[in-house]
Copies of this chain bind each other. A is one copy, B any other.
Amino acid sequence: MIKIPASPSVRRLPSYLHIIRQAHIDGYEYISGTIIAQELQLEPIQVRKDLAITGIVGKPKRGYPVVALISAIEHFLGWDNKNKAIIVGAGNLATALTGYSEFEFHGLEFVCAFDTDPEKIGKKIHGVPIYSMASIKTQVKKLNAAIAIITVPSQFAQETADMVVETGIKAIWNFTNVKLTLPKGVVSQREDLTSGYAMLSVKMIFDKEKRVLE
């Protein structure tokens, strides 16, 4: 079994990509790990470790070759190929996601959305057409979608996932608070907004205590 690299390292790759692409636009050929570290308020050793998972190493004094580093990160993440995604549940979160321009730079293309609400079917969100849930299997085949983004209310999460699995899709990005039961061979990533809130909360407490102690 191949071990997937540590998730905090993978989670940081898009931020690296963002900075390195900007360096490329600004005409730099090399970028140092120290500069990237400063930009993201990380330790330089951490940056070097994170970037090493993509298979690229920096040159002493010069740093990383910008173009090669962009390719290495994109290839590691599979973002050098377009990923076609459907969104199941055409609510506010779906509208927010389709309007989030960052994704298109990362090869994520929203091909269509699905909903059960007759008021929504036939309409578009940020140019993405909304189809009836009944047509999901046909549309997924036709559009060759690889990812399903589930943004339905949590009580419909599992049955929605079951329908998605039925279409043959092998990757689910789950925005509900339900831990999905999925067959082997289907990968999933749960996006838990309360995790970020937990981080902020802890920072608030520790910052207050630090000031009291100083």
A: residues with CB less than 8 A from B are 1-2, 4-5, 7-8, 10-15, 18, 39-40, 76-79, 83, 91-93, 95-97, 99-100, 102-103, 106, 108, 146-147, 170-171, 173, 177, 179, 185, 187-189, 191-207, 209-211, 213
Contact check: which of B4, B179, B189 meets A196 at CB < 8 Å?
B189
Docked CA distance A178–B213 (Å):
31
Given contacts A170-B207, A205-B78, contact A191 B189 (CB under 8 A): no
Question: Is the beta-carbon distance between B14 and A195 smaller than 8 angstroms?
Answer: yes
Report how far A171 CA is from B206 CA in the complex, Å. 12
Task: Given the known inter-chain contacts A8-B8, A204-B171, please indicate yes or no for A92 contacting B102, CB distance below 8 A.
Answer: no
Q: Which residue of B lies closest to A210 (CB)?
A: B2
- With A10-B202, A14-B194, A40-B179 given, can you name 20 additional A-B contacts, CB distance below 8 Å? A2-B210, A10-B199, A11-B192, A14-B195, A14-B198, A77-B201, A77-B202, A78-B204, A78-B205, A91-B96, A92-B92, A92-B93, A103-B197, A108-B197, A146-B204, A147-B200, A171-B203, A187-B203, A188-B200, A189-B200
Residues in B neighbouring A199, C-beta threshold 8 A: 7, 10-11, 189
The number of times this chain is found in the oligomer is 2
Q: How far is the CB of A31 from chain B (nearest CB, A)?
A: 16
Q: Does B79 contact A204, Cβ atoms closer than 8 Å?
A: no
A178 to chain B, nearest CB (A): 10
A1 to B213, CA, bound (A): 9
Bound complex: CA A199 to CA B76 (Å):
11
A103: B residues at CB distance < 8 A: 193-194, 197
Chain B residue nearest to A107 (CB atoms) is B201
Question: Is the Cβ of B147 less than 8 Å from the Cβ of A106?
Answer: no
For A173, give its contact among B5, B76, B173, B196 (CB under 8 Å).
Answer: B196
CB-nearest residue of chain B relative to A19? B179
* The one of B15, B100, B170 that contacts A204, using a Cβ cutoff of 8 Å: B170
Alpha-carbon distance A44/B154, docked complex (angstroms): 27
The answer to whether A106 touches B197, judged by C-beta atoms less than 8 angstroms apart, is yes
Contact B193 A13 (CB under 8 A): no
